[in-house]
Amino acid sequence: MSPRITIIGAGQAGALLALLLARRGHDVTVFESRPDLRRVDIDAGRSINLALATRGIVPLVDAGVIDAVDAITIPMRGRMVHAVGDPTPDLQAYGSRPHEVIHSVSRTDLNAILLDAAEATGRVDIQFEVRLDRVDLDTSTLHFTDGRTEPFDIVVGADGAGSRVRRSMGDAGSCSFTTDWLDHDYKELTLPPGVDGTHQLDPNALHIWPRGEFMLIALANPEGDFTVTLFAPSTTFEHLDADPTAVARFFDEHFAEFVPFVPDLVAEFGENPTGRLGTLRADGWHHDGRAVLVGDAAHAIVPFHGQGMNAALESVRCLDRHLATRPDDPAAAFAAYETERKPDADAIAEMALGNYLEMRSGVIDPDHLAKRALALELERRHPGHLSPRYNMVMFSTMPYADALERARRQAELITTSLADPTFDIDTAVRALPPLPALDPLADPEALSIS
Ligand SMILES: Cc1cc2nc3c(=O)[nH]c(=O)nc-3n(C[C@H](O)[C@H](O)[C@H](O)COP(=O)(O)OP(=O)(O)OC[C@H]3O[C@@H](n4cnc5c(N)ncnc54)[C@H](O)[C@@H]3O)c2cc1C
């Protein structure tokens, strides 16, 4: 008889894993600390929409939910860069191929699709408002904050960056982890629909107002509004949160073009929480074939590459694949999963940190733009050998660690080429190993792009 699997956390990772495991015949119980988001509005304070890209799309195709997801996504073809004082923002396309588009999706609506699909299998029991306190790994017992206890065969920690499962594994000595907090925070705001109810800006772009030390970004929602996020040094937030009169001055000084779109900016700024950002690095993602971590619980990253959820979904698919390959030996399956995924988790953590600089200043830096333009041109000339780093991360399924390594090599060639016009870049690029094939499920038609 296959072991009963208990998942802690019904976020994207936990809900997708429940669905995939149930489809392969497992009975799954999920414990989620929050109320059922399909019945109660619990979005306040969390990022309302997310960028979904190829690595997240593939597991959703695999799980059979992509048609439902298609109905709730908005395609974004590139970055709309709002430079200071420029009335005509510039669209920097992500790429020229049909699938090189990212998709704005509501966190809640995506989660609801996954929860519905998991429950529809008839094998998944989801219990809401049940908070795990700790896991006793000696006796295979879950302890909940309401005093309840439950035995388990296998427990999966899909309980996010502050994972209690991970903490228990740390106490048992199987997992060690650190969180590097960034000295920049974030706050979300809403750019409402215009008077006619439609989007005030082009919905098919990711809008950025890059300002060096800080930036605003905006992603469209289907209701006509945008979710806007301010990323800035923690000291800036301390100043603005302490003095509401400084908020209007700050936006007038740095984001004057943005201010007319949000009439109640100062009030909203005061009401919405300021969130922290960090990178969680964990070693030892599993314990004795009975406990394993997935998603943010194993590898939370800063959001600047829009990859945390994409990486979580990709890790879920990887874990499911290893469990399917070794159904009678979960310890070996978990070890193989960590061996495969840990280098990728480290690589995307590094690239996500690096992308903050690109977004808040690179997108208006002539040197950076020249490099990006040359990379895109080289990709056009040698599509089988070079792809810009951003595109390898967002629009491929090659391991993140390989993307990072290739990106380093490509960057060296491009820098050399721009410094030395006699350098034969074409020969050098043709000598790079061929790019791997896309996962067959990375169907460019999977999500509508018009
Ligand atoms: C500002 C911001 C913007 C982002 N933008 C993007 C983006 O554009 N694209 C992208 O790919 N990613 C983005 N991310 C990252 C993304 O949100 C996460 O990587 C993703 O949600 C991780 O999914 P998860 O299921 O692993 O964890 P979570 O979504 O955190 O889910 C964990 C679940 O476990 C539950 N839980 C926690 N503790 C317990 C407990 N003790 N007992 C029971 N249940 C518990 C929680 O309630 C939650 O439902 C962003 C993150 C932030 C902060």
If pLDDT is split at 50, 70 and 90, which confidence band does 1 have? Answer: low
Average pLDDT over residues 443-449: 81
Q: Is 397 in the pocket of ligand 1 (CB under 6 A)?
A: no
If pLDDT is split at 50, 70 and 90, which confidence band does 43 have? Answer: low
pLDDT tens across 129-146, in order?
999 999 999 999 999 999
Q: Is 12 in the pocket of ligand 1 (CB under 6 A)?
A: yes
Q: How many Cβ atoms are within 10 Å of 203's Cβ, its own excluded?
A: 20
Q: Is 306 in the pocket of ligand 1 (CB under 6 A)?
A: yes
pLDDT over threshold 70, residue 46: no
Average pLDDT over residues 268-285: 97
pLDDT over threshold 70, residue 167: yes
- Our CA dihedral for 418, 95, 78, 109, rounded to 10 degrees, sits at -140
pLDDT over threshold 90, residue 239: yes
Provide the pairing of β-strand 28-32 with 5-8.
Answer: parallel
**Token pair for 315:** 């890790």
- The domain limits of the chain are 5-73+105-180+278-356, 181-276, 365-430
Q: Is 364 in the pocket of ligand 1 (CB under 6 A)?
A: no
* Residue 211, Cβ density class (10 Å: 0-12 exposed, 13-18 middle, ≥19 buried): buried
Return the percentage of the chain with pLDDT > 90, whole number.
Answer: 88
> How many whole angstroms from 161 Cα to the centroid of ligand 1?
7
pLDDT over threshold 80, residue 406: yes
Residues 306-334, buried b or exposed e (16+ Cβ, 10 A)?
Answer: bbbbbbbbbbbbbbbebbeeeeeebeebb
22 and 28 Cβ atoms separated by less than 8 Å: yes
For the CA of 12, the closest atom of ligand 1 is 25
pLDDT score of 387: 96
Q: Is 34 in the pocket of ligand 1 (CB under 6 A)?
A: yes
> How many whole angstroms from 296 Cα to the centroid of ligand 1?
6
pLDDT tens across 168-197, in order?
999 999 999 999 999 999 999 999 999 999
Task: Report how far residue 209's alpha carbon sits from residue 83's, in angstroms, rounded to the nearest whole number.
Answer: 6
Q: Is 8 in the pocket of ligand 1 (CB under 6 A)?
A: yes
Task: Report how far residue 21's alpha carbon sits from residue 158's, in angstroms, rounded to the nearest whole number.
Answer: 14
> How many whole angstroms from 297 Cα to the centroid of ligand 1?
9
Instruction: Find the angle CA(115)-CA(117)-CA(122) to the nearest 5 degrees.
Output: 100
pLDDT over threshold 60, residue 156: yes
> How many whole angstroms from 437 Cα to the centroid of ligand 1?
30
Q: Is 60 in the pocket of ligand 1 (CB under 6 A)?
A: no
Count of all residues that appear for the chain in the document: 450
pLDDT over threshold 50, residue 45: no
Give every strand in the sheet of 215-220, ordered side by side. Answer: 90-93, 78-81, 206-210, 215-220, 226-233, 176-191, 274-283
pLDDT tens across 80-95, in order?
999 998 888 989 999 8
pLDDT over threshold 80, residue 444: no
Query: CATH number of 5-73+105-180+278-356: 3.10.50.40, 3.50.50.60, 3.40.605.10, 3.80.10.10?
Result: 3.50.50.60
Q: Is 160 in the pocket of ligand 1 (CB under 6 A)?
A: yes
Q: Is 303 in the pocket of ligand 1 (CB under 6 A)?
A: yes
> How many whole angstroms from 390 Cα to the centroid of ligand 1?
22
Task: Report how far residue 284's alpha carbon sits from residue 263's, in angstroms, rounded to the nearest whole number.
Answer: 49
Average pLDDT over residues 262-275: 95
For the CA of 294, the closest atom of ligand 1 is 26
Query: Ligand 1, residues 309, 313, 355: which to mutate, most atoms within 8 A of Cβ?
Result: 309
Average pLDDT over residues 298-312: 97
